[in-house]
A and B are shown apart, each in its own frame.
Chain A
C-alpha cells in the first residue's frame, strides 16, 4: 500500500510536477489548491504527509498548518513540508511555530523534493 500524500499548491505547474514526480516514486498523491481543502481531506481520511505551498488563496499554508495541528484525529501529527518561494519572509522558527516540520525552497530542486519526502516517509515519521 503506497503512502498517501496531500499536495496543496495553487499553481497547477508545481502541482502537476510534484504529483508526477512523486507518483513515479510510488506515492499516492491527492492534490488540492488551497489550505481549506487540505483540512477537508484530513477530516475524512488518514494521510501520511502534507506538502503545501505557503502562498495559497482561501487558507494559506501557515494557517492551514496551525489548523492541522489543532485537529483531533491522528492527522494532527502528520508531517508537514512547506514549499515556499519566499523563505525570507518566514524563518524556520516561524514555520516551527506553525507546526511545519520542514520546507523546500523555490525554485524547487527535484532531488531535494524526493529526498525530503522519502526522509519523512521511510523513517516512519
Chain B
C-alpha cells in the first residue's frame, strides 16, 4: 500500500514537479506568446496590406493600422463595426457567397471585393481570406487585402479611353456622342453630372447637360454656377478641379450671388477647335469631394480632345458631304444630259436627265455598269451602237469630240442633241473614262430649219415676184433687185446691181423729192415715176418705198415698183367714161328741170281748177269728191316738190342762198305754219329760243325753214295723241363771228325703234311699210333734210324712245352779221308781219284764177294795192292806163306768155317802167338767169309763198317798215306757264333744291306783288302799280314763268304811256296767270 502510497506520493511529487514545469513552461509560453503577439501586431501594423480578422458573426477581432487609415475608422470604432458594413453594398452579396464557400471548405486563390470607406469612397481590394476552424466550427476569418483601387482605376480608365475613342470614331451625331460618353463615364466613374457647354456670342449653349440634382430631385437649375465656372476656366485657360469652397471664393471675387446648389467638386476642361477654346466639358458631384482626382481630370482632358476630334471630323464630313452634294446638285440639276463610260463602254455615272432621255429613246432605264454593246433592244440598233463605239474610241485615243446628232424617241418625236465627249485623264495620264455632256438643241434646230424654210419661201416669192422689188443705199446705188426686173424692163439683175437707180428709174428731181419725203415720213406710198426699158421705151411706175434702218444710223431704201402703164391707160378710159356719164347725168338733170316745169304747170292748173270748182255750187256728193281730189293733188304736189328737190340735190345743184336771217323769225314762221296742224292732232307746239342767239346770221332761211318744217311736220304726223312738240334752238359753240346752232324738235309721239334709226335718213325710206298707210309722205323729207343740213355745215340725228317720243336734232353753222348789214333785212322782216303805210301799187298777171287770188290776197294783206290781170293782153292795157310800182308776171300763159308780155311792156315807151318779176314753176336757180336774160328783172318760184312774195315787193320798192309794237309781237308767241327749260338751266347751279326754293320765293313775292298791283290800280296809283309789275316781270322772266312775265310786261308798258284800257281785266288776267302758276308749280315740284 505504502508502496502504492509511496507510489502515489512519488507520483504526486512528480505531478507537482510536472505541474511546476508546466507552469513555468506556460509562463514562458505566454510570455513568448505575448511577445510574439506584440511582434505580430507590430508587424501587421507596419504592413501596407489591409489585415483584418473577424468573427463568423462579422465582428472585428483585429484590424491593422493600414486598414484603419484606409477605411477612415479609429481603433475604438472597429469593435462596433461588422465586416459586412465595410463592404460596398453592390458587392456584399458576392462577398458573402464567397465567404460561405470558404466556410464550406473551399479554397479561394484570390478573394476580390470592394470596400467602402467611412466617407463612402470605394476601395478595390484583392487578397487572401482564410477561415480558422475550432472543433469543426469556423471560429474566425483572417484576411489580408491589397488595395488595388489605383490599378483598377487605371484599368478602367484604360477601358474608358478606349471606349471613348471608339465612340469618337463611330458617332456622328453630337447628341449621341455626348450621351455615349456620359454613359461610359457613369458606368466607370459613377459620374452623374456631366455637361458639355459650347461658347456662343452671349453665353454658353449646352450641347449636353445632365445633372444629378435635376434627374433625382426634379430641381430646375439656373446653371449660374456653371456659367461662373465656365467663365473662370476660360480665364485661366487650363483644366481645373474646383471644390465647393473654391466656387464660393470665385463667386465672391466676381461679386456674383449664386442661386443654384454648389457641387462639392467640379472638374472642367476646355474644348479646343483649331487651337481656339470653343467650350467647356465638365464633370461634377454634389456628394463626395474625393469622388474625382487629377486622374479624372486627365481623362476629361482626353475626352475634350476626343470631342474636338469628333467635331473636326464632323466638320470635315459635312464639308465633304456639302461639296459632294453641290457637285451632285450640279450634276442632277443641269439641264444637260451628263454621263460617263469606261473602256468597256459601261456607264460609270449619269444624271437624271440622261436617264430620262435614255429611257425616252430606248425604253429602258440605264443602270450603272450597263454595257452599251451589251444592250439588246430594237430601239438601239447596231448602227447606233457602232456610232457611239466609234465616237468613244476616238475619245479614248485622247481626242475630245463635239458633234450634233439626232435621235428618234419612242413616241416618234425627233430630237437633236449637241454632244461633247471629253477624256478623263487620271493622274498618271491614262484615260480610263470618258465624260459626256449633251444638250437638247431640238428647238434651235427646228427654228434653224424653219428659218431656212421661211428664207426659201421668201426667196421663192422674191424670185417669182411680178412687181420689182429693189433696195438701194441712200445715194441710190442698187444693192438688190428682184429677177422680175428682166421681164419688166429687160435688164438682168446683175446689170443693175451697183448701178444708180437714177440711171433707170426716176428722174433726178423726182428722186430728190422722194428722198426728202422718205426722210420726213420714213415711207412714201403711191409714188409715181417713169422708167426707161432696155429697148428705150418709157414705162410708168407706181411704187411704195420705205426707209429701213440697217445698222447704226445707216439707212437703206427698199421699195416695190409696179408697172402701171396699162392701169393708167385704163384709168384714163375710166375718167372718160365718167365724164360721159356725168354729161349724161347733166342731160338727165336738164330733163328733170324741164319735167319739173312740165309737171308743175299742169299741177298748178289742176289745183287751181279744183279750187275754182270748189267755189261753184255743188251738191254734197260732189263736194266730197272735190275734197278728195284736192287732197290727192296736194299730196301729189308735195311728192313732186320732194322729188325735184332731191334731184336738185343729187345733181349737186343745191346751192345755199345766204342772206342775213333773223332766226327768231324763222322759228316764228314755222310755228305759225304748223301750230294749227299741231292743234288738229291734239298737240301743242312750243318753241324755245336761246337767249344768246345772235340777232342776224348769214343763212339760207328758206332751206333752214324747210328742214325745220320737215321735222316739225314729221313730229306732228307721228304724234297722234295729245302731247307737246317743242322746237328749240341753242347756241352750241361760238367762234366769232361763227356760231354753231343746235335745233331740236322734241315730240311725245310713237318714237322709233333703234334698229330703224339708221334707215331713217335714207332716200325713199319709211321705217315700217305697214305704217305707210297711216303716215303719208314720200319718205324723202328726212333724206332731203339730211342733205340740206350737210350743206349748212351741220349734222342731223335723232334720239328716240319707242312709245315715248323722239327728239330730232340738227346742227348748222352760220356767221353772225352786224346790224348794219342786216338793217335792210330787219326792215324786211318786220315788213313780213306788218302792213306798210305807203301802199305800193302792184299789177298781178296770171291766167290762173287761184294763183292770182292767192297772190293778190297776200299782197293786199301786206298793204299793197293790187290790180289783177288774167292775160298778157290785159296786163298791157293796165300798164298803159295806170302806173304801177311793180308787176308780177306769170310766164306760162296762153296766147301771150310772160316773156312776150314783158317784152311788149318794156317797149311801150313808158316814162317809168316798173320792175317785172317772173312767176314760174321753173325751180332751178339757173332758170333765174334765163328769165333775166329775157328782159325780166327778177324771178319768183311757184307755188307762191307769202313771205317770198312780200320780200320781192320790199326788195324792189324799198319800203320803210311801220314800227312794230311789242304787244302784237308778244301775243303772237305761245307762252308757257313755266318754261322747264329755263328752270332746268338752274339745276346745274343748285339742283332741285335751288329750283324749289326759288319758286317758293317767287310764289310768295308774286302773290304779294299781284295783290299790291290790284290795290294800287284800284286807288289809281298807276306808277306804283307799274313798279310792282316791273319787278314781277323781271322775276317771272328770269324764272321762265312766261305767261306771268308777258302779262306783267303788257300792263307795265301800257301804264308807261298812262294807258289804262282794260287795266282791271288785264290785272285779273295776271291774277289768273298767277293761279295757273301756283297750280303747275305745285305739280312741278312734286314731279
Contact = CB atoms under 8 A, between A and B. Distances in A.
A73 interface: no
Contacts of A13: 998, 1001-1002, 1005-1006, 1035, 1038-1039
A106 B1041 CA distance: 13
B906 to A, nearest CB: 49
Interface stretch (B261-269, B944-952, B1025-1033): B1025-1033
A120 to B, nearest CB: 18
A1 interface: no
A21 B1031 contact: no
B997 A85 contact: no
A49 B986 CA distance: 22
Contacts of A20: 989-990, 994, 997-998
Given A12-B1005, A24-B990, A110-B986, A17 B1038 contact: yes
Contacts of A107: 1034, 1036-1040, 1045
Q: Name the residue in B692, B985, B1037 with the highest tally of chain A Cβ atoms < 10 Å from its Cβ.
A: B1037
A110 B1039 CA distance: 10
A11 B1035 contact: yes
Given A85-B1033, A106-B1037, A109-B691, A12 B989 contact: no
Contacts of B1039: 13, 17, 107
B989 A85 contact: no
Interface in A1-46: 10-14, 16-17, 20-21, 24-25
Given A21-B990, A55-B1027, A16 B1034 contact: no
B970 to A, nearest CB: 14
Given A107-B1037, A109-B691, A11 B1005 contact: yes
Contact of A21 (B994, B1004, B1027): B994
A14 B1009 CA distance: 14
B994 A14 contact: no
B998 A16 contact: yes
A106 B1038 contact: yes
B1010 to A, nearest CB: 13
A93 interface: no
Contact of B1037 (A16, A85, A114): A85
A86 interface: yes
A108 B692 CA distance: 12
Contacts of A72: none
Contact of A85 (B691, B1001, B1034): B1034
A111 B986 CA distance: 9
A85 B994 contact: no
A84 to B, nearest CB: 8
Interface string B978-1004: 000000011001100010011001101
Given A55-B1031, A86-B1030, A110-B985, A16 B1001 contact: yes
Interface string B1007-1028: 0000000000000000000010
B975 to A, nearest CB: 13
Given A14-B1034, A17-B1038, A24 B989 contact: yes
Contacts of B1035: 11, 13-14
B989 A21 contact: yes
A48 B1038 CA distance: 25
Interface in A98-117: 106-112, 114
Contacts of A114: 989
A89 to B, nearest CB: 10
A70 B998 CA distance: 35
A38 to B, nearest CB: 18
Q: Name the residue in A20, A112, A114 with the highest tally of chain B Cβ atoms < 10 Å from its Cβ.
A: A20
Contacts of B691: 109, 112
Interface residues of A, number: 22
A43 to B, nearest CB: 27
A21 to B, nearest CB: 5
A55 B1005 contact: no
A17 B1001 contact: yes
A53 to B, nearest CB: 8
Contacts of B994: 17, 20-21, 24
Interface in A60-92: 85-86
A16 B1001 CA distance: 8
Contact of B989 (A14, A86, A110): A110
B153 to A, nearest CB: 103
Nearest to A86: B1030
A24 to B, nearest CB: 6
A108 B1027 contact: no
Contacts of B998: 13, 16-17, 20
Nearest to B988: A110
Contacts of B997: 16, 20
B852 to A, nearest CB: 44
Contacts of A17: 986, 994, 998, 1001, 1038-1039
Contacts of B1045: 107
B1001 to A, nearest CB: 5
Contacts of B990: 20-21, 24
A12 B986 contact: no
Nearest to A55: B1030
B1031 A11 contact: yes
Interface string B1040-1063: 100001000000000000000000
B515 to A, nearest CB: 52
Contacts of A14: 1034-1035, 1038
B761 to A, nearest CB: 32
A111 to B, nearest CB: 7
Interface string B691-704: 11000000000000
Q: Name the residue in A107, A108, A110 with the highest tally of chain B Cβ atoms < 10 Å from its Cβ.
A: A107
A13 B997 CA distance: 9
B742 to A, nearest CB: 16
Given A21-B994, A55-B1027, A12 B985 contact: no
A85 B1031 contact: yes
A107 B1039 CA distance: 8
A108 B990 CA distance: 16
Contacts of B1033: 85, 106
Nearest to A16: B1001
B178 to A, nearest CB: 83
A13 B1036 CA distance: 9
B1027 to A, nearest CB: 7
Contacts of B1005: 11-13
Contacts of A106: 1033-1034, 1037-1038
A109 B689 CA distance: 13
A10 B990 CA distance: 22
Contacts of A10: 1031
A88 to B, nearest CB: 10
Given A16-B998, A20-B997, A21-B994, A111 B1031 contact: no
A110 B1040 CA distance: 11
B681 to A, nearest CB: 32
Q: Name the residue in A10, A21, A106 with the highest tally of chain B Cβ atoms < 10 Å from its Cβ.
A: A106
A108 B1033 CA distance: 11
A114 B988 CA distance: 12
A45 B856 CA distance: 71
Contacts of A21: 986, 989-990, 994
A109 B1037 CA distance: 9
Contacts of B1004: 12
A109 B1038 CA distance: 7
B634 to A, nearest CB: 42
A109 B877 CA distance: 60
A49 to B, nearest CB: 18
20 contacts: A10-B1031, A11-B1031, A13-B998, A13-B1006, A17-B1039, A20-B994, A20-B997, A21-B986, A24-B989, A24-B990, A25-B989, A55-B1027, A85-B1030, A86-B1030, A107-B1034, A107-B1038, A109-B691, A109-B692, A110-B985, A110-B989
Which 3 pairs across A and B sit closest by C-beta, in order of nearness?
Answer: A107-B1037, A85-B1034, A106-B1034
Given A17-B986, A24-B990, A106-B1037, 5 more contacts: A13-B1002, A20-B997, A24-B989, A85-B1034, A112-B691
